[in-house]
Amino acid sequence: MRGGPGTSDPERVTYTNVNLVSMVFYAYDARVDPAAGTTWLGTEHYSIEAKIPPGTTPAEFHLMLQNLLAARFHMVVHHETKEYDGYDLVVAGGGLKMKKSSEEDSAAAAQPASGPLVSAGLDAKGYPQLLRPGIIAVSKKNSSPFAFHLMARAQTLAELTKTLKDYLGSPVVDKTGLNGRYDCTLDFLRGAPVTMMVRADAPDDSVPYIPEAVGALGLKMVSAKVPLDTVIVDSAERIPTEN
């Protein structure tokens, strides 16, 4: 899935070989639960290319995707709140260890993103540098294929939480109560120990999983039942309408 607001190609998206569960998740930013008659949403795959008007915000883009699914696949959905096993993200006992962002970066982060996010060159450790406020995770150098190096510039705890939950594969709720913007880096293993398959190239103990890794930022993850907005797909058509 490439392109869209906040990327280096904000006026075009190219989605190749994606299933509709992924599309619904991205369009609504919510858990997806296909109804009994639409379980094929996770197995059929599509390629989608679309142009986006200049200046489109992420919220407007998500609404455009919702409209696309309704118009092209005649998709009908409704929302329910369901509870899932997850985590509350809180400040650890020793206090927050993240750097407060500069006033200039904080102001820029509140404006629509423009221009590339990362540099073409690499820093002394072999990682790209953030050219503007944003957040990105890249493969960690000389480490397990499951290991990532996260870089965040002028991000809120809510934005950091959203990225972490995507790599953790479990819901995480920001319960820190902090509203400022922060800079940080974080090394972590994708997934959680209970979800990793036992295999020859499994990660070693040199890089922690996310629930442990966030301790380096002065944060802590506490197991909790997390209520989440869940999109129920009531009906959809396998073959989209023609271009």
The tens digit of pLDDT for each residue in 118-151 reads 998 898 889 999 999 999 999 998 888 889 999 9
Q: Bridge-partner residues for 224, per DSSP?
A: 86
Cα-based angle 203, 25, 165 (whole degrees, multiple of 5): 35
Query: What does the pLDDT look like over 15-68, one tens digit per residue?
Result: 999 999 999 998 998 888 887 678 899 999 999 999 999 989 888 999 999 999
How many Cβ atoms from other residues are within 10 Å of residue 61's Cβ?
Answer: 20
The answer to whether residues 228 and 81 touch, using CB atoms and an 8 Å cutoff, is yes
Instruction: Using alpha carbons, select from 95, 78, 97, 88 the residue that is nearest to residue 32.
Output: 78
- The values of phi and psi at residue 184, to 5°, are -165, 165
Q: Taking the complete model, does pTM exceed 0.95, yes or no?
A: no
Residue 39, pLDDT score: 83
- Domains of the chain, residue spans: 2-83+228-235, 96-217
The answer to whether residues 170 and 87 touch, using CB atoms and an 8 Å cutoff, is yes
pLDDT category at 10 given cuts 50, 70, 90 is confident
